Structure 1
Amino acid sequence: MTQLASPPAPNEIEAFIGQVVTDLSAAFSGVLVNVGRKLGLYQAMAELGSCTSVALAEATGIRERYVREWLANQAAGGYVAYDPERQTYVLPRAQAMVLADDQSPIFMAPAFDVAASFWLDEDQIVQTFRSGEGLGWHAHNHRLFCGTESFFRTGYRAYLVSEWLPALDGVIERLTRGARVADIGCGHGASTIVMAQAFPESSFVGLDYHDASIATARQRAAEQGVTGNITFEVRSATEFDGENFDLVCFMDCLHDLGDPVGALAQCRKALKPDGKALLVEPYAGDRLEENLTPIGRMYYAASAMACTPNSLSQEVGLGLGAQAGEERLRKVAREAGFSNLRRAAQTPVNLILELTP
């Protein structure tokens, strides 16, 4: 180890140790968030209001000793509030919207399943770094697929129909009358199903190279009674063909593709002359220093373990990464033959971009 010119000050060491302890605490506790969600502890607390560990144990059928320890951890992390005088716990409304209500526009609990999948795939990820080779989406633990579906579905339900599609010029009118729509890289079909439910006069096709995800997408559509105007096909983004589409969507997936330029070029060929492409991408600035934030940290982690390896596993292997930024995406779109890329909307976690031929 290189000898430092001068040792760090004690307060600098203490500060960084404190940061690492905070991160370790979050990493350990993330498992208990999954436990709480899967055992219904958060939902029960939302229904009970102020409660003791005994009351929560009785409501959920979980042994009280485990519930007591879980509650103490959640209180230490600020996920639940503790009243020391009454020795009761409560799940505040804000926390309930994030952790307990799966219909909430800010429901985030499933993201911890994504984190769990990365830990389970740690050996594969280490080997990928060593070899420099790629790691396809399909090769990850199945919890990545379900966690991603549930986490992204929250945003699609909250914003896709009410804000993102209306931000595209003339698209809502087309969808209401009846349009042809392709959803590339659809995964479990969360975004495709949301659109098909909202616009019954339009037809939707979801495409993904992962056959297991397409099988799940078909099951999800059937479970929700959305079958008349929706189909799913196993096909990669660059194999996508067809013509006269009014809208082609890439929902949180363009940066994962090995050949995003080729995929957008195929998309352009499939669009009507006045058709549009919708890109929903992770929010990012164009410079690294703009992304050195908690959200940027999360996205760079996902990018290093899933997005970039998936791209490098495919032909071309451009490796855009999850923090490509608007200007880099604009360059990709121009190389694919699109004349214009416009930021139509944004959220704290997403860029919503409109492409026109």
Structure 2
Amino acid sequence: MDHEKVNEFLSRFVADLGATEAAGSVAIGHRLGLYRALTEGPATPEEFAERTGCHPRYLTEWLRGQAAGGYVDYEPETGRFALTQEQAFCLADPHGPNVAAAFRFALGMLRAEPRIAEAFRTGEGVGWHEHDDEVFVGVDAFFRPGYEAELVPNWIPALDGVDAKLTAGARVADVGCGLGSSSVLLAEAYPRTTVVGSDYHRESIRLARKKAAEAGVADRVTFEVAAAQTFGGTDYDLVTMFDCLHDMGDPLDAARRVRQALAADGTWLLVEPIASDRVEENFNPVGRLYYSGSTFLCVPNALSQQGDYALGGQAGEAAVREVVTEAGFTRFRRAAQTAFNVVYEIRP
């Protein structure tokens, strides 16, 4: 046994365990607005307690732990903690990556560990709706910044003729819309376009309607509780799916429903987690993130539904292309990609 390799592995373990334990502190920082409060300027724990109304002893441990993880800076000369501009953008800016919110969904996901462990033994599924509420809110918070940065500026223009259609006024179905962030973004960017969002999860649809009302687009964005295989309407100019096809037990039937719902010259915008068809090429930090989420959320949800698929969060392009082709689509191309997503343009 190579003891140097043992020590290397233990170093990795310490980093992983420390990050796992720190997740709760990051979630608390988001929930209590601590990161946003720290953007007001450097503070000692006592000063921070006055600013936030929280107990100084708890804040002392929290601030030191955040500094140890590189999420907060520390000034030894003054005993004050602060956020750099970059940390503030990632942790406290609602229009930034909003990474702190992602820890809330991760913790919510992990609360299902006993049920997922049992599912390993039985092969049964665990539905999306059976998870802790933090999962639904946290997933929206984690993915929304990416959609805000990419959907209208980059993804829509990458599709042939779609931007012009939406600008002139089009009909859009946003399938598997969750809390409706993508639906609202499209409506805000294209005032002449109407959007119908659908999701099988009733509580997500309730929150989506609230989000649309708060954004002032409820007159052009409506929502329905419906599965991807049964959403309503036809002759859509654009059907969108954001990070959800791989969660479905029957993505083939969902793809067939999209084919039926599209206008003859319509487009299916499909966004999926980025993944290689070669398994070993997914052994990287992004792949690890997605495989972990897939183990707890994507595959269990697919196995809880009728159908012959459990694609998972790292299915790869070949598996997606196979589903799309079998559903009757004849045109399929990769239109764009980011560090986290791949964007497909699919046409009848």
Q: TM-score range by the shorter chain?
A: over 0.9
Q: Residue 16 in 1 paired to residue 16 in 2?
A: no
Q: Which residue of 1 aligns with 2:260?
A: 269
Report the Cα distance in structure 2 between the residues aligned to 1:327 and 1:42, rounded to whole angstroms. Answer: 41
Q: Which residue of 2 aligns with 1:4?
A: none
Q: Residue 126 in 1 paired to residue 117 in 2?
A: yes
1:236 offset after TM fit, Å?
A: 0.6
2:85 to 79, 93, 103: 93
Q: Which residue of 1 aligns with 2:309?
A: 318
Q: Which stretches of structure 1, 4 residues or longer, exceed 3 Å deviation after superposition?
A: none
Report the Cα distance in structure 2 between the residues aligned to 1:76 and 1:131, rounded to whole angstroms. Answer: 41
Report the Cα distance in structure 2 between the residues aligned to 1:187 and 1:41, rounded to whole angstroms. Answer: 27
- Alignment-mate amino acid for residue 178 of structure 2: G
Secondary structure of the residue aligned to 1:110 is helix
Q: Which residue of 2 aligns with 1:31?
A: 24
Distance 1:272 1:45, change over 3 A: same
Report the Cα distance in structure 2 between the residues aligned to 1:113 and 1:293, rounded to whole angstroms. Answer: 22
Q: Residue 109 in 1 paired to residue 100 in 2?
A: yes
Report the Cα distance in structure 2 between the residues aligned to 1:62 and 1:215, rounded to whole angstroms. Answer: 32
Kindly, what percent of the aligned residue pairs are identical? 49
Secondary structure of the residue aligned to 2:229 is helix
- Alignment-mate amino acid for residue 356 of structure 1: R
Q: What TM-score does the superposition give when structure 1 sets the normalisation length? A: 0.95
Q: How does 1:64-213 map to 2 (within 5 A)?
A: 64-104=56-96, 106-213=97-204
Secondary structure of the residue aligned to 1:134 is coil
- The CA deviation string for residues 265-312 of structure 1, in whole angstroms up to 9 with x for no partner, is 110111111100001111111111111001100100111110011111
Report the Cα distance in structure 1 between the residues aligned to 2:109 and 2:298, rounded to whole angstroms. Answer: 12
Aligned residue pairs, count: 348
Report the Cα distance in structure 2 between the residues aligned to 1:11 and 1:42, rounded to whole angstroms. Answer: 39
- The CA deviation string for residues 124-161 of structure 1, in whole angstroms up to 9 with x for no partner, is 11111111011111111111000011111111111111
Report the Cα distance in structure 2 between the residues aligned to 1:71 and 1:227, rounded to whole angstroms. Answer: 41
Report the Cα distance in structure 2 between the residues aligned to 1:240 and 1:41, rounded to whole angstroms. Answer: 41
**Preserved CA contact (<8 Å) 1:278 1:355:** yes
Report the Cα distance in structure 2 between the residues aligned to 1:129 and 1:31, rounded to whole angstroms. Answer: 26
- The CA deviation string for residues 18-39 of structure 1, in whole angstroms up to 9 with x for no partner, is 1111111001111000111112
1:199 offset after TM fit, Å?
A: 1.1
Report the Cα distance in structure 2 between the residues aligned to 1:259 and 1:19, rounded to whole angstroms. Answer: 38
Q: In angstroms, what is the RMSD of aligned CA positions? A: 1.1
Report the Cα distance in structure 2 between the residues aligned to 1:65 and 1:151, rounded to whole angstroms. Answer: 30
Q: Which runs of 5+ in 1 are unaligned?
A: 1-7
Secondary structure of the residue aligned to 1:47 is coil
2:330 to 323, 339, 353: 339
Q: Residue 43 in 1 paired to residue 48 in 2?
A: no
- The CA deviation string for residues 332-354 of structure 1, in whole angstroms up to 9 with x for no partner, is 11111111211111110010110
- Alignment-mate amino acid for residue 109 of structure 2: F
Q: What TM-score does the superposition give when structure 2 sets the normalisation length? A: 0.98
2:292 to 301, 305, 314: 301
**Preserved CA contact (<8 Å) 1:257 1:317:** no
Report the Cα distance in structure 1 between the residues aligned to 2:133 and 2:194, rounded to whole angstroms. Answer: 29
**Preserved CA contact (<8 Å) 2:180 2:197:** yes
Secondary structure of the residue aligned to 1:284 is coil
**Preserved CA contact (<8 Å) 2:29 2:100:** no
